[in-house]
Amino acid sequence: MNNGFVRVAAAIPDLRVADCRYNVSCISNLVHQADSEKVQVVCFPELSITAYTCADLFLQQQLLNDALLGLSDLQMLSFTVPVAIVVGLPLRIKHQLFNVAVVLQGGHVLGVVPKTHLPNQNEYYEKRWFASANDTDVSEIEINKELVPFGTNLIFSDGKFSFGIEICEDLWVPIPPSTQHCLHGAEIVFNLSASNELIGKNNYRCQLVEQQSARCNAAYVYASAGSGESTTDMVFSGDGLIAENGKIIATSERFSFESQLIISDVDVERLVSERIRNNNFHRDCSERVYRIVSLEQAHYRHFELKRIIDRHPFVPPVSNRDESCFEIFSIQVGGLAKRWKHTAAETIVLGISGGLDSTLALMVCVKAADKLGFDRKRIIGITMPGFGTTDRTYQNALNLMKSLGITLKEISIKHACIQHFKDINHDPEKHDITFENTQARERTQILMDMANQHNGLVVGTGDLSELALGWATYNGDQMSMYGVNSGIPKTLVRWLVDWSANQVDNNSTAFLRDIINTPVSPELLPADEYGNIAQKTEDVIGPYELHDFFLYYFVRFGFSKAKILFLAKQAFQGYYDEKSIEKWLDIFLKRFFSQQFKRSCMPDGPKVGSINLSPRGDWRMPSDAVSFYNLPKADKEFK
């Protein structure tokens, strides 16, 4: 495999009905094209050597002989290319005729898989011509003087990835054969199909492919008969689909009159990771025995990925962003509303800095109040200017609180911090970690004490990205009574604030827009000579879009540093050079391990997506764990 990826293809040849020689020529051309594209397995439609719509011609001996000759030609072709070929044809075995898929590689027929479920609901009655796999106990057949495995219990594997095969209608039954294939080790399923077109059928077919790939934590490659089939009573569109774990990643052009090759790269390592985490995904303990058919490993070649790696995996796609933001926001609001109601708190207390995180938390508090029918004045927003507070963030904080109609309080932390510096004998001109954390802890003390005064609940504003990096002051902004943003990564915070800007009045919208455009900063160091933010978080720890990318693949899939680096280079090509990506990845890994102690005692907060760092369920990591990615070389080698 190439960094865990396997390149697969669904091929849609422009066939002629019952013209095996022509069809084999078309198939051969697509095989050569697949070889030039470094495809590792290519799948063709059902009965592709003869075409699917031959009807009673399937009972003609000449057509069956021509199909076998065509298979022999493709077997010879497989000597010359490393691609594994999956092709369909009618095959007579003793006194029965079967609709089969044949796997070819290295000049050999590796295995033959018969169709199990034969449709009988339209004018092409397959049961008129073919027997079901259930109608035979044959397990081995002879093709071109070679004994070949025959059956639906075949898994094809080279030791690095495995695939199984089902044919068309097999997918449409309550328990598809591919379910068993995957439970017995197949990460990829190939479906040779001939699905005709009807109004609305395409969407349903896509959903079937997506759902089966999701249920099986698998990749699903679907190749359906094209427009070369007979149109006597039906039309075929040549639907080619490649799905991975519930998401279609490549499709064909339907109703095309040209041969097509639909190629994509399947991340087998990602699928394996999903299965390891899925405690319900285990081998079926039935008596059925699967047989492993060996593929050659010599066909592995390096290739540049054809699929696009999303730079922002936490951000919903544009097509459903509004719907997703509404759902995410509703989860946050629902969690806070329940906690507010359960604690019977009179007020909600939170610090408002004029930055993105506190703004999102404030919007959640406002909507929670509205949902419960509470007066917004029960929300106490406190702005606490310090040594690094700029006029821009200060004014945005004040203006936003006023426009939303909450209770506004302003408490400067400067004098309290100066007194604290005197108490601990710290030089206030020494702008070190003590200087910064004193401010963060003073703000938290104010919030906690104000909550005591007003029978309140302190709402935390820190986000998921900050938790991952430990970018929070222990017992400062790391602590609250409920963290509404704890499941929201930084790249998503911006989109949620942008979305919420469309849900409020025009005055509030204007302030929200300016907050969105403000650089991310804790504002714990003095502003520059022009009064602008001097302490920019991303200048210190690196771009949040990179850290969120690293977080997603490290926690969600447990990928190695090498795999994450490979994916990041693909995703951020043209945005960051390789040296920069590796530098920030090292920082992410170092901080993620060293800062676990802050996550071990993090407050409650609502889980929003597939990644959460709560120690109570989603991420259980010892605080003393060694960062195996940042060990000195000698330690790595146990010297």
Contact criterion met (CB below 8 Å) for 116 and 133: yes
Single out the residue of 79, 82, 86, 66 nearest to residue 10, CA to CA.
86
Check if 201 is active-site.
no
Q: What angle do CA 436, 596, 520 make, to 5 degrees?
A: 40
Check if 583 is active-site.
no
**What distance in Å separates the CA atoms of residue 32 and residue 250, rounded to the nearest whole number?**
20
Residue type, 369: A
**What distance in Å separates the CA atoms of residue 123 and residue 118, rounded to the nearest whole number?**
13
**What distance in Å separates the CA atoms of residue 255 and residue 237, rounded to the nearest whole number?**
4
Looking at 168, 182, 216, 417, which residue is catalytic?
168
DSSP 8-state symbol, 288: -
Backbone angles phi, psi at 251, to 5 degrees: -140, 160
How large is the angle between the packed helices 414-423 and 433-453, nearest 10 degrees?
120
Question: How many other CB atoms sit within 10 Å of the CB of residue 13?
Answer: 30
Looking at 115, 490, 563, 598, which residue is catalytic?
115
Single out the residue of 144, 224, 231, 151 nearest to residue 191, CA to CA.
224
Check if 115 is active-site.
yes
Indicate the Cα dihedral angle 467, 470, 472, 476, nearest 10°. Answer: 90
**What distance in Å separates the CA atoms of residue 111 and residue 439, rounded to the nearest whole number?**
70
Looking at 38, 46, 442, 563, which residue is catalytic?
46
How large is the angle between the packed helices 490-500 and 506-516, nearest 10 degrees?
160
- Beta strand extents in 25-121 (DSSP E only): 41-43, 84-93, 96-105, 108-114
Contact criterion met (CB below 8 Å) for 435 and 426: yes
Place of tokens 């702005």: 383
Contact criterion met (CB below 8 Å) for 249 and 242: yes
Query: HSE-up of 576 (CA within 13 Å, CB side)?
Result: 23
Contact criterion met (CB below 8 Å) for 285 and 243: no
Alpha helices in 103-196 (DSSP H): 177-183
User: How would you classify the pairing of strands 108-114 and 140-143?
Assistant: unpaired
Contact criterion met (CB below 8 Å) for 363 and 498: no
Residues noted as catalytic: 46, 115, 168
